[in-house]
Structure 1
Amino acid sequence: MLSFPEGTKNDPKCYVTHGVMGHLDPKQPPVKRKPFAAMLKYDFVQKVELILPEEIYEIMKEVLDQLPKPVYSRVILPLKALLEGEFFNEYIKKGKPCLSIFAHGNILMLSEGTLGVDDSYSLREGILTLHLDKESYERAGIVGKPDGVKGKRGTKPRWVVEINLRLPSMLHGKKGFDRIVYAFKNVLTNPVTWLFHDLSIAAVTPDPLDPHFPVKKTVSPRLLQDLKVNRPSLEPPKEADPTYGADFEDYAIELQEWLALVLLESPRISPDDKIDPFLSRYAPPGNSQTNTKLVKLTWQGFLAPTWAHKAFVQVLLAAPQEAWFAYCVGGFGEGISGESKNCTILRLPNAPKEYILWEVL
């Protein structure tokens, strides 16, 4: 972990890892070791971006075109609809996450609202999470815990409630469950817009969501070609440095900044950039740069972490041994600032098993 000044305990931090991927079995790709585990930490994924040289894209184009296109829905529902009829039975009670991430009944749901500001809700693996202000929490009468930083000036107290709807006790007629139903029918009554993603391989017929008139969205990649850049050396410092000191720290910070500018499609990294140095003095890191054409693919929508993981494995298997690429996964914004968790994986050139991983948490 890079060193940070004091007083940043609750601020986002960037953790950098330089490691070796090890053996990759296409039939059983890793899920618990880095860098594969990094993208599975997210509850929901909002954007996936892939950066690679143009000549490598031409080689991998067919594989990239065959990646499955995620489908999600936008639907308006009150909270009580989650606990009623076939929706509750098919999508929540029948889920079996312990057996397979694609088991029947596994769904992801995320409501509108800014986390830390508005009342917002999410559903993942049968666990319904409610982020509530103090008034809504007290009126609902369900048990939760304080949310956010305690005693932070300028913020109102908030609460988070987690309800595992797959517990055997979560049935109509049970006292605890009926209390939740009462809160949803009498306190948390406003219909909200949800993003809905079904992880099941086989669709439910008839779909319990159809009576609510969902609007389906298909995520297709946005392709940006002919992105001319000054590319710095991507290789980490070669001198033995078991403590990962200043040389590696400078390398990690400067390269992460360059990759961020590529993602932003900034003109500062273009070889034709002629900006006045009074306005910007940025230059790619290192003493030597290479003029390169890059391709960037972007998938944006309501994506499952499992899809991001599967796509990364497919890209890794299809990429030539000596090629480099960067794979970036971003979550949804949190709080007033809209900052989100994200990770960037760089497979190093001429070292097919080595990677650099940046995790902003």
Structure 2
Amino acid sequence: MIDLVKDNGPRPRCLVTNAKLSNFLNHEQPPTKKRPFSTILGQTYTHSLTLLIPKTPSTLQETLTSEETLYTLHNLKLHLKLSSLLTSPLFTPYIKTPPSLLTLLSLPSANPYAATITLHAGILTLDLDRPTYERVGLQGKAISTTGGRKHVKDRFLVEVNLRLPGMVRGKKGFERVVAAFENVLNETCTWLAVDAKSGGFESLLQDAEAPIKEFAPVERDVTPEVVELRDVSVPAFPGEGGIREEDYADAEELLEWISLGMLDSPRIRKDDGIDKHFSRYSVPDSFGEVATQNLSKFQWRGLMPPEFAYKVFLAALKALGEDWVAMSAEAFNGETYTILVHKGQSITWEYKD
């Protein structure tokens, strides 16, 4: 109503993509390069994963219960300096060795200009302001965070592949990185850690003399919260061919319904009696008649690597068969995707800020 904020930057984008899934999905060697699978694997630092499916007598909930170790993550909160990642005994087995899928994320500090540091699959990424970048002495690239002003670059991105053969003690490149962390980026940070490969940190925590104990680890299980949604008005979904270009408004309404379902909003309940003066929302019927179903919602909250979301998505597809599946994930950097699969046809919405 009153324009108090000037928005001169580019507006957020929502990309909509159709894809036809293979008639036979090999769960032993599932696809990774086609949508929606590539979208899932492309979001590295997820903090919220939500799955919405029709409630069926067996299927997914039994799978999640019977194979609990596969669908439960263990997060660790650690307090350590960046140099400790490279000099502690944890470096070789949990960072440098390829089978390990250790993911680390530095939590925000009180300083708005502080570095943001992430580690996944051996790639250490540093998001630095200009003064810190000039002092750290590592090669990086300028990134724009100023609302589209082309000639102002106030942040820099540095990537270090710690799995390169030269990243060992005694090599000049490695020692240069260690020196930068000891002399410039030498503050103690709070980190979230998760290991998608092992599923937990039991081997690190069971020994009272383990090196990780000096970092004051606090473990937290990330398990799914299950909510049953009864008598939900469910729209008909697009048939073969998915969403067409001229159906963009219908795609927006469909995404809105999925979002309301994941919020367990009473607006989509069959017996919703809200006064029309307060809400004029109605379930979309652009693709056919609205039906009534009981639904199940599964939600995980914590640091989740893409391999975990990928595994959950494949389990849902296998359990539901020809029925529909909707999944949404939000990353720490604000990027969000929502995927709807129905009878071998997928629609992917990708929100990029």
Category of TM-score, reference length = shorter chain: 0.7 to 0.9
Counterpart AA for 1:84: T
CA contact (8 A) 2:143 2:153 kept: no
CA distance in 2, matches of 1:59, 1:314: 9
Pairwise CA distance, 1:360: 2.3
Pairwise CA distance, 1:61: 2.8
Counterpart AA for 1:131: D
Q: Which residue of 2 aligns with 1:309?
A: 310
CA distance in 1, matches of 2:91, 2:260: 45
Which deviations, in whole Å up to 9, do the C-alpha atoms of 1:220-256 show, x marking residues without a partner? 11011134422221234x7x89x9232x323311111
CA distance in 1, matches of 2:19, 2:27: 23
How many residues are matched? Answer: 332
Aligned runs of 1:92-103 on 2, under 5 Å? 92-93=95-96, 95-96=97-98, 103=99
Q: Which residue of 1 aligns with 2:39?
A: 38
Q: Which residue of 1 aligns with 2:3?
A: none
Q: Which residue of 2 aligns with 1:299?
A: 300
Q: Which residue of 2 aligns with 1:190?
A: 187
- The 3-state SS of whatever aligns with 1:13 is strand
CA distance in 2, matches of 1:152, 1:18: 31
Counterpart AA for 2:215: H
Aligned runs of 1:1-361 on 2, under 5 Å? 11-54=12-55, 56=56, 58-67=58-67, 68=70, 69-93=72-96, 95-96=97-98, 103=99, 105-113=100-108, 118-149=114-145, 152=148, 157-201=154-198, 208-236=211-239, 244-246=244-246, 248-286=247-285, 288-319=289-320, 321-332=321-332, 334=333, 340-348=334-342, 351=343, 353-361=344-352
Which deviations, in whole Å up to 9, do the C-alpha atoms of 1:154-175 show, x marking residues without a partner? x871111111122222233333
Counterpart AA for 1:145: K
- The 3-state SS of whatever aligns with 2:310 is helix
CA distance in 2, matches of 1:223, 1:125: 30
Pairwise CA distance, 1:325: 2.2
Q: Which residue of 1 aligns with 2:4?
A: none
Counterpart AA for 1:74: K
Which deviations, in whole Å up to 9, do the C-alpha atoms of 1:14-72 show, x marking residues without a partner? 22214233321122122222222220111222222111122x16444311323421112
Which deviations, in whole Å up to 9, do the C-alpha atoms of 1:108-149 show, x marking residues without a partner? 111112898542100112111111112222222222211224
- The 3-state SS of whatever aligns with 1:278 is coil
Counterpart AA for 1:174: K
Counterpart AA for 1:298: Q
Which deviations, in whole Å up to 9, do the C-alpha atoms of 1:265-308 show, x marking residues without a partner? 22222233333333322111117422322211111111121111
* Gapped regions of structure 2 (runs ≥ 5): 1-7
Pairwise CA distance, 1:187: 1.6
CA contact (8 A) 1:254 1:285 kept: yes
- The 3-state SS of whatever aligns with 2:186 is coil
TM-score (norm 2): 0.84
Q: 1:36 to 1:220 in 2, by over 3 A?
A: same
CA distance in 1, matches of 2:13, 2:106: 23
CA contact (8 A) 1:108 1:196 kept: yes
- Range with bigger deviation, 279-288 or 121-130: 279-288
Q: 1:123 to 1:245 in 2, by over 3 A?
A: closer
CA distance in 1, matches of 2:138, 2:198: 35
Which deviations, in whole Å up to 9, do the C-alpha atoms of 1:175-233 show, x marking residues without a partner? 33323222211221111111111233396566542332311111111011134422221
Which deviations, in whole Å up to 9, do the C-alpha atoms of 1:44-103 show, x marking residues without a partner? 22222111122x16444311323421112111111110110312222222x22xxxxxx1
